[in-house]
Amino acid sequence: MSDIRQIGVSRTLLWAEFVGFYVVIPVLVAVFLPPGRLFEALFVFMLAGLALLAFTPGFEWRELLRGWRAIDWPRVGVLSVVTLLAGVIVMQMAAPARMFSLLDRPQMLLTIAVFYPLLSALPQEVVFRALYFRRYRDIVPEGIPGLLLNAGLFSLAHLMYWNSIVMVMTFAGGFVFAWAHIVRRSFPMAWVMHSVAGLIVFACGLGIYFYSGNVVRPF
């Protein structure tokens, strides 16, 4: 029995749900919601994604715990180095005075290190990897096209920051995280990579582009 029949909706309705959740809502939030409400909107979006996953027939939360042994730590290390180099280059070009500015605020950096993996990276990975590839696997393309689509939608979800640096970073990161989830068959690896990359982004100063107070809409 296909996943679509298990979910109990037609392919058309599933596509409508998919487009509404991953395309329409992010665009509406980016265009109409006041920048000061972005984090609230992101929180509600994540809750909605968790609810959809919870009500996906056959899904069990323990599925997210599988794959720890599949984590390729050398590749996590490579991602860390690449992220750091990219962050330094971008900050040197865009905002050299802010580079590694959080190193002067160790308590803030420690707070990010503790809470970012749990409150940001984890729910994002549940929604954009576990939900995407579990609930909608009968309608999304497989292989590289599927990874590219996932990365594109992950980037679109960050349109609310209206910043090309954020869009490029999240597209690249989304592709890598999707690869870890699908090719390595390891949700934990996707989460670890997301957490490590995010911490490096904040540490090198790129976090200024993910701050709602700096959002400037082009219209």
pLDDT in tens, 49-101: 999 999 998 899 999 999 999 999 999 999 999 999 999 999 999 999 999 99
- pLDDT, one tens digit per residue, over 159-171 is 999 999 999 999 9
3-class DSSP assignment, residue 55:
coil
Q: What percent of the chain has pLDDT over 90?
A: 80
Reference 20, options 48, 41, 47; nearest CA is: 48
Q: What pLDDT is stored for residue 163 in this prediction? A: 94
Question: How many angstroms from the chain centroid is the CA of residue 35?
Answer: 19
Q: Which residue has the higher pLDDT, 180 or 36?
A: 180
- pLDDT, one tens digit per residue, over 172-207 is 999 999 999 999 999 999 999 999 999 999 999 999
Q: What percent of the chain has pLDDT over 70?
A: 96
Phi and psi torsions of 158, nearest 5°:
-100, 10
Q: What pLDDT is stored for residue 8 in this prediction? A: 53
Question: Mean pLDDT for the chain?
Answer: 92
- Distance between CA 186 and CA 118 in Å, rounded? 17
Please say if the pLDDT value at position 19 is more than 80. yes
Q: What pLDDT is stored for residue 4 in this prediction? A: 59
Please say if the pLDDT value at position 2 is more than 80. no
Cβ distance 207 to 101 under 8 Å? no
Q: What pLDDT is stored for residue 1 in this prediction? A: 45
Q: What is the band of 25 on the pLDDT scale with cuts at 50, 70, 90?
A: very high
- Residue type present at position 62: R
- Distance between CA 93 and CA 17 in Å, rounded? 40
Cβ distance 200 to 83 under 8 Å? yes
Q: What is the band of 36 on the pLDDT scale with cuts at 50, 70, 90?
A: confident
Please say if the pLDDT value at position 31 is more than 50. yes
Q: What pLDDT is stored for residue 40 in this prediction? A: 83
